[in-house]
Chain A
Amino acid sequence: MQIAPNFDGPVPGENFTSDTRNYPWHRPPDFTDINEAIEFTIERLTEPEVGFTYMAMFEAGMDVTTATDIFVTLGIGEGKWTPDMAILIAGPVSRIFEILAKTYGIEPELGLDSGGIPLTAAYLKAVMEGEDPMEAGREAVEAEADEIKGSATPAPAGGLMGAPMASEGPAPDDEQMSMLGYGPEEEEMPAEEPEVK
């Protein structure tokens, strides 16, 4: 079968001719002033779509520190600020989140010592169904662990040289013969004919 040549591939050295501003974080950041960055944060978080999203997350049990981490990391990805600036504005951003949540009647945990709760599917589902999310998360982990244990093949007892397990039974006759050095019956090779001179 003949393979058609692929003409869509890059020309050698094409990377040197491409625009280096491929990603927002490769460009100079939009905000280099700390006050401007915080003003942008306030504007962004008071947008209904963005604000409601974070408030829903707080209601689901997310803490302020995790929300701050998500927000500033998104800002780095969008080229709004550098990672250094993200660390500098983290404090004020956390305070903005806290105030916004209070205005919506939510009191989220700060989460500075807990290390944050991972928002898993089981966790969110439990919150939606009004169950205890921590208990639901624990049950989901236990169920998954049981599933993994059930699908795993048991390790041979005593290693490779260990005695065979009772369930295996004796080896078949062929295998036993091969272990004793008797291979399958070999076909007789035809006798060589003498060379004619």
Chain B
Amino acid sequence: MKFEDAIRMSIKSYRAGKKPEETMKVAEKFKYTLEFFEGMEKELTAPKKGKKKKAEEEVDADRA
């Protein structure tokens, strides 16, 4: 097996939700799960209108 094939297999397994069992035994807590990245994706790709509103609200509060 080539290194590229191993990388391809690793990506497939990760996306299928499989975790490296032996590594999980050693690692205290695996932080970067699929769920983590889903949350990150939502946060980064969400429209920024909400943030603008919040900022506007803060400015209004300061003025008041």
Chain A interface residues toward B at CB < 8 A: 33-35, 38, 64-65, 68-69, 72-73, 83, 86-88, 90-92, 94-96, 98-99, 102-103, 110, 112, 116
Contact = CB atoms under 8 A, between A and B. Distances in A.
B11 A112 contact: yes
A96 B7 contact: no
Interface residues of B, number: 24
Contact of A92 (B29, B37, B44): B37
Contacts, number: 67
Interface in B1-42: 3-4, 6-8, 10-15, 20, 23, 27, 29-32, 34, 37, 40-41
Contact of A91 (B4, B13, B27, B45): B13
16 contacts: A33-B27, A35-B31, A38-B31, A65-B8, A68-B11, A73-B3, A83-B3, A87-B6, A87-B7, A90-B10, A92-B32, A94-B14, A94-B15, A95-B34, A99-B40, A103-B45
A185 to B, nearest CB: 67
A72 B7 contact: yes
B29 to A, nearest CB: 8
A116 B11 CA distance: 14
Contact of A116 (B4, B6, B44): B4
Contact of B11 (A34, A73, A83, A90): A90
Contacts of B15: 91, 94-95
Given A92-B14, A95-B37, A34 B23 contact: yes
Contacts of A86: 7
Contacts of B40: 99
A88 B7 contact: no
B27 to A, nearest CB: 5
A112 B3 CA distance: 14
Given A86-B7, A90-B7, 5 more contacts: A34-B30, A35-B31, A65-B11, A87-B10, A90-B10
Nearest to A116: B4
A92 B45 CA distance: 18
Given A35-B30, A92-B32, A94-B14, A69 B7 contact: yes
Given A69-B4, A91-B11, A116-B4, A96 B27 contact: no
B27 A35 contact: yes
